[in-house]
Chains A and B, each alone.
Chain A
Amino acid sequence: MSEHADKSGISQAFRWFDPRGRDVGTIAFILNRITALGLTFYLFLHLIVLGQLAKGAEAYDGFLATIRSPIFVFGELLVVAAGLYHGLNGIRVGLTSFGIAVPQQKKLFYWLLAIAVLGSLIFGIRMFTA
């Protein structure tokens, strides 16, 4: 059912993430917004967790041992993938925002997505085999 202007704000926020019937630009937008929220969450989590450094060698090394379990490594890989995508798409959005390469925005998206996926794979392999 179609959505209308009498509805707005947070009740409609799910529509940001609905790709049905949309073009690649929306896929780029959705991924950008999801990675933005994810990375912001990670940033503050990271800052809090690094507080362990202040508690000295034992606390920090103990903490490092915990995050070496596969589930944390996978989480870290998600952060790397999100960072890669958000950074590369940021270049695309930044360039086009000054009127540069706007007609090429779809092609740019496919390229940056390929680089982000490839980069995440390389990181993933290195992280899980190291």
Chain B
Amino acid sequence: MSTTKTKWTVNLKVYRKKGQKAPYYDQFTMEVDPDEYVLDAIERIWAFHDRSLTFRHACHHSTCGACGMLVNGVEKLTCITYIRDVVEDGGTIVIDPLRNFPIISDLVVDMSLFFDRMEMVGQRQVIPIAEEIVGSSQKAQSAGNGKEYLRLSDCIECGMCISACPIAATNPDYLGPAVLAGAQQSGLDKKPELLQIVDQENGLWRCHSAYECTAVCPSNVDPAWRIMDLRRQVTSQRFKRLFR
């Protein structure tokens, strides 16, 4: 309990939008501990300054994927982003909702289409416990090269990869990194019907290799690598079909 207690004064510039009204920023000047997380500061705004501020959060330890926002223009899981890392004493933190999703209110975006697409590629929101127990023993845990270990069910569906993707920026029809990564996780070998979902005009071939999905992913899913791996699989399938 001997940590030096410092207090910083920071400004939080928070995106506000209600209904059809024009969006604007509210500014809140507050005292924070730099070792707190950005989400802590946002919660304090709600608790002590403005009860009408809406934002999404739940677990506070990067498991639920609810609190993804733009912090100074970059996609961050606010529950694990230290204030110290994004601002200096006396500085300003700009908080925006995720990009490329419709805004419901303030910092809350509508992710229902994204969640539907995740279900479509076999990444269900809720899995019956019995099924999960049976399935878990069969889950592969390695990248295949025996050296690097990847957990194959890390995606927390925070939507940050879609917010960061330049293709999703102009075309919401594009399935997007998390969905294609989800299909790769589900596996074309186990679910051959996924082929026609990923190998279509708004699927795999739309990625233009900006690698931003992997750059912002808080959970080491590496969606870009999964998209490329899926491309490799589909390409070889295409050629096998051609020469069969």
Contacts and interface: CB of A to CB of B under 8 A. Distances in A.
B154 interface: no
A111 to B, nearest CB: 16
Nearest to B211: A25
Contact of A15 (B96, B166, B224, B231): B166
B212 interface: yes
Contacts of B25: 1
Contacts of A33: 208
A16 B209 contact: no
A66 interface: no
B28 interface: no
Contact of A26 (B109, B210, B235): B210
Contact of A4 (B109, B209, B210, B215): B109
Contacts of A126: none
B96 A23 contact: no
Contacts of B109: 4
B163 to A, nearest CB: 9
Contacts of B98: 2
Q: Is the interface of A mostly helix, strand, loop or mixed?
A: helix
Given A8-B172, A25-B212, A29-B208, A2 B96 contact: yes
Interface residues of A, number: 33
A5 interface: yes
Nearest to B164: A22
Contacts, number: 98
A120 to B, nearest CB: 22
Contacts of A23: 211-212, 215
A76 B173 CA distance: 39
Contact of A8 (B23, B171, B212, B224): B171
Given A12-B169, A29-B166, A103-B225, A2 B212 contact: no
A97 to B, nearest CB: 6
Interface string A15-52: 11000111111101100110000000000000000000
A102 B15 CA distance: 36
Nearest to A15: B169
B65 interface: no
Instruction: Specify which of B96, B101, B212 lies most central, judged by the most chain A CB atoms within 10 Å of its CB.
Output: B212
Given A6-B102, A16-B170, A98 B231 contact: yes
B228 A22 contact: no
A21 B224 CA distance: 18
B191 interface: no
Interface of B: 15, 23, 25, 70, 72-74, 96-103, 109, 164, 166, 169-172, 208-212, 214-215, 224-225, 228-229, 231-232, 235
15 contacts: A1-B15, A2-B96, A2-B97, A3-B99, A5-B101, A8-B170, A9-B170, A12-B170, A23-B215, A25-B211, A25-B215, A28-B209, A93-B209, A98-B231, A106-B211
